């Protein structure tokens, strides 16, 4: 079977707040993730005002990558990874977000971590903001509702670009910048942007105001990064859930198209450098005011990204004749959503659709003609040890295999320009949406449970050896 090119960045991905722990170590300040309790599949995480005594906050210790990074990187190297995606925890560098000077101990941690990766020829792929907005900015500035926070973000970006300019080539500005469009669920505005919708505020207006500020922050960071090192590759990162029409009824086909184009809203601006017309029409119709300042059009034009990174976990489907409000049975988070009978779901209800990945790669590439990078994909599973003390995670292997098959078709048959593939959570980490440990994505098991018990010991799952073989054969051997 066909291979993927030699330059292809086979890797794995995590986010700092879900893995590092050390939430208050060496000068780190609290972030929005540090006030989120644990939930479950059907019980949302709670966002508390401050860190409350007696509550359990799973991100505080997470899987203690902060204390285990050498051991973990050695395992990543043994797995054959060529790239590793993580984020720089903003509050390790600027504990309050508005500090005059960065925290040297935080900067030093990432120096050491990146050196360790580079020692094994693993390229760091770094997200600047992955749900780690400083709590102080959220509480005392209104976070990205407030234009001043753009300046704090840009200062953070410039600080780390300058510090790691000879260690990191691949960057992304905001993780899943577009998932706050599902503003009916408060977790997304909070984690993406540190924002809550207050009484009397219109959630849609808030979202687009915040959206504009994050888009400006992203564009300013891209321009600043290019000045610091013109060889940087700085990308966008969006969550992508393709939307299918339930039937060939033209009304359904067009509804799917309309829903999809709003999914493209953020990447349209980040890749093309301007707002799409359909969005401007919608804003005018709905009375949404975008806080455009003089010069913003130029900022967006001068801050276009080099590539489009995206996460892909599932697809969804819409039916014009179904209720407007999502049922919450389907996790695409769009109006008129219905279950797709052709598609199976994970234990957490996420639709498993490998062909949807090929479809996504093609639609993105047709639309933008810039390199693409799949920076998240994977299956959350409950892993159990067999009698022989091993984890045989065949379902995870099957999921990854089926998706890699589709990636190969997109690259080799369709001609899509794809930089790499970093499946989510190569090592078990805390789930973002539920805060659980038992929703595992890793190929490396970590002994830690939902209540925070466990030794934190690492062990290899069957997928570990399988992925090594896939990488060694450039994707040819998927057996």
Interface residues with ligand BG6 (CB under 6 A) are: 15, 18, 175-176, 239, 311, 376, 380, 424, 431-434, 439
Other CB atoms within 10 Å distance of the CB of residue 383: 18
Q: Give the residue among 454, 420, 432, 145 at the shortest CA–CA distance from 310.
A: 420
Structure tokens at 76: 């990543």
Task: Give the orientation angle of helix 265-272 with respect to helix 354-368, to 10 degrees.
Answer: 40
| Smallest distance, ligand BG6 to C-beta of residue 380, A | 4
Give yes or no for a contact between 224 and 158, defined as CB atoms under 8 angstroms apart: yes
Q: Which of 20, 116, 337, 376 is catalytic?
A: 376
Give yes or no for a contact between 449 and 56, defined as CB atoms under 8 angstroms apart: no
Which helix (H) or strand (E) segment holds residue 307: the answer is strand 307-312
Cβ closest to ligand BG6, residue 59 vs residue 340: 59
Give yes or no for a contact between 62 and 69, defined as CB atoms under 8 angstroms apart: no
Between CA 331 and CA 323 the distance in angstroms is 15
| Smallest distance, ligand BG6 to C-beta of residue 64, A | 17
| Smallest distance, ligand BG6 to C-beta of residue 175, A | 5
Cβ closest to ligand BG6, residue 5 vs residue 452: 452
Radius of gyration of the chain (CA): 21
Cβ closest to ligand BG6, residue 90 vs residue 432: 432
| Smallest distance, ligand BG6 to C-beta of residue 239, A | 6
Cβ closest to ligand BG6, residue 275 vs residue 348: 348
Q: Is 176 a catalytic residue?
A: yes
Between CA 430 and CA 447 the distance in angstroms is 12
Q: Give the residue among 60, 67, 33 at the shortest CA–CA distance from 47.
A: 33
Cβ closest to ligand BG6, residue 39 vs residue 371: 39
Q: Is 116 a catalytic residue?
A: no
Distances (CA, A) of 282 to 208, 278, 279, 307, 348: 12, 6, 5, 27, 33
For 401, half-sphere exposure in the C-beta direction (CA atoms, 13 angstrom radius) is 14
For 57, half-sphere exposure in the C-beta direction (CA atoms, 13 angstrom radius) is 23
The residue to which tokens 């896939």 are assigned: 470
Cβ closest to ligand BG6, residue 239 vs residue 422: 239
| Smallest distance, ligand BG6 to C-beta of residue 228, A | 26
Q: Which residue is nearest to ligand BG6 (CB)?
A: 433
| Smallest distance, ligand BG6 to C-beta of residue 43, A | 13
Task: Give the orientation angle of helix 354-368 with respect to helix 394-408, to 10 degrees.
Answer: 30
Query: Three-state DSSP class for 428?
Result: coil
Q: Give the residue among 145, 224, 223, 131 at the shortest CA–CA distance from 177.
A: 131
Distances (CA, A) of 250 to 29, 226, 228, 261, 458: 52, 45, 50, 16, 52
Q: Give the residue among 135, 57, 131, 126 at the shortest CA–CA distance from 95.
A: 135
Cβ closest to ligand BG6, residue 18 vs residue 89: 18
Between CA 153 and CA 51 the distance in angstroms is 23
Cβ closest to ligand BG6, residue 15 vs residue 318: 15
| Smallest distance, ligand BG6 to C-beta of residue 204, A | 21
329 φ, ψ to 5°? Answer: -80, -30
| Smallest distance, ligand BG6 to C-beta of residue 150, A | 22
Between CA 12 and CA 436 the distance in angstroms is 20
Q: Give the residue among 85, 93, 213 at the shortest CA–CA distance from 155.
A: 93
Structure tokens at 259: 């829903």
Between CA 477 and CA 468 the distance in angstroms is 10
Q: Which of 132, 176, 337, 436 is catalytic?
A: 176
| Smallest distance, ligand BG6 to C-beta of residue 134, A | 18
Cβ closest to ligand BG6, residue 43 vs residue 121: 43
- Residues identified as active-site: 176, 376
């Amino acid at each position: 079977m066909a291979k993927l090119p030699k330059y292809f960045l086979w890797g794995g991905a995590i986010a700092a707040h879900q893995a590092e722990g050390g939430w208050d170590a060496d000068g780190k300040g609290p972030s929005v993730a540090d006030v989120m309790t644990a939930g479950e599949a059907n019980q949302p995480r709670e966002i508390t005002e401050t860190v409350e005594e007696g509550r359990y906050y799973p991100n505080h210790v997470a899987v203690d990558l902060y204390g285990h990074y050498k051991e973990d990187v050695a395992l990543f190297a043994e797995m054959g990874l060529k790239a590793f995606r993580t984020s720089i925890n903003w509050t390790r560098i600027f504990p309050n977000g508005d500090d005059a000077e960065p925290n040297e101990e935080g900067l030093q941690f990432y120096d050491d971590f990146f050196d360790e990766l580079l020692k094994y020829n693993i390229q760091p792929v770094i997200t600047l903001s992955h749900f780690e907005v400083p709590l102080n900015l959220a509480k005392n500035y209104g976070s990205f509702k407030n234009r001043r926070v753009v300046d704090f973000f840009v200062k953070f970006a410039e600080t780390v670009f300058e510090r790691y300019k000879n260690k990191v080539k691949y960057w992304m500005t905001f993780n899943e910048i577009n998932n706050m469009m599902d503003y009916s669920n408060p977790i997304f505005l909070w984690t993406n942007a540190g924002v809550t919708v207050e009484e009397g505020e219109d959630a849609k207006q808030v979202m687009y105001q915040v959206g504009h500020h994050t888009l400006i922050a992203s564009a300013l960071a891209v321009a600043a990064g290019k000045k610091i090192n013109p060889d940087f590759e700085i990308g966008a990162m969006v969550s992508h859930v393709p939307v299918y029409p339930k039937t060939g009824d033209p009304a359904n086909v067009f509804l799917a198209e309309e829903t999809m184009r709003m999914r493209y809203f953020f990447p349209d601006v980040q890749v093309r450098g301007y707002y799409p017309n359909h969005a401007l029409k919608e804003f005018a119709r709905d009375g949404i005011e975008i806080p455009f300042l003089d010069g913003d059009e130029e900022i967006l034009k001068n801050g276009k990204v080099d590539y489009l990174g995206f996460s892909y976990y599932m697809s969804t489907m819409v039916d014009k004749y179904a209720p407007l409000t999502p049922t919450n049975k389907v996790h695409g988070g769009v109006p008129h959503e219905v279950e797709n009978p052709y598609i199976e779901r994970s234990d957490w209800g996420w639709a498993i659709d490998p062909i949807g990945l090929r479809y996504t790669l093609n639609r993105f590439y047709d639309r933008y003609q810039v390199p693409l990078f799949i920076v998240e994909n994977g299956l959350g599973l409950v892993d159990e040890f067999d009698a022989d003390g091993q984890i045989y995670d065949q379902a995870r292997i099957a999921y990854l295999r089926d998706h890699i098959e589709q990636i190969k078709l997109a690259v080799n048959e369709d001609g899509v320009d794809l930089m790499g593939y970093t499946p989510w959570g190569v090592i078990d980490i805390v789930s973002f949406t539920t805060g659980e440990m038992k929703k595992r994505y890793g190929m490396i098991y970590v002994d830690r449970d939902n209540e925070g018990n466990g030794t934190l010991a690492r062990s290899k799952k069957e997928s570990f050896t399988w992925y090594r073989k896939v990488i060694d054969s450039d994707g040819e051997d998927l057996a």
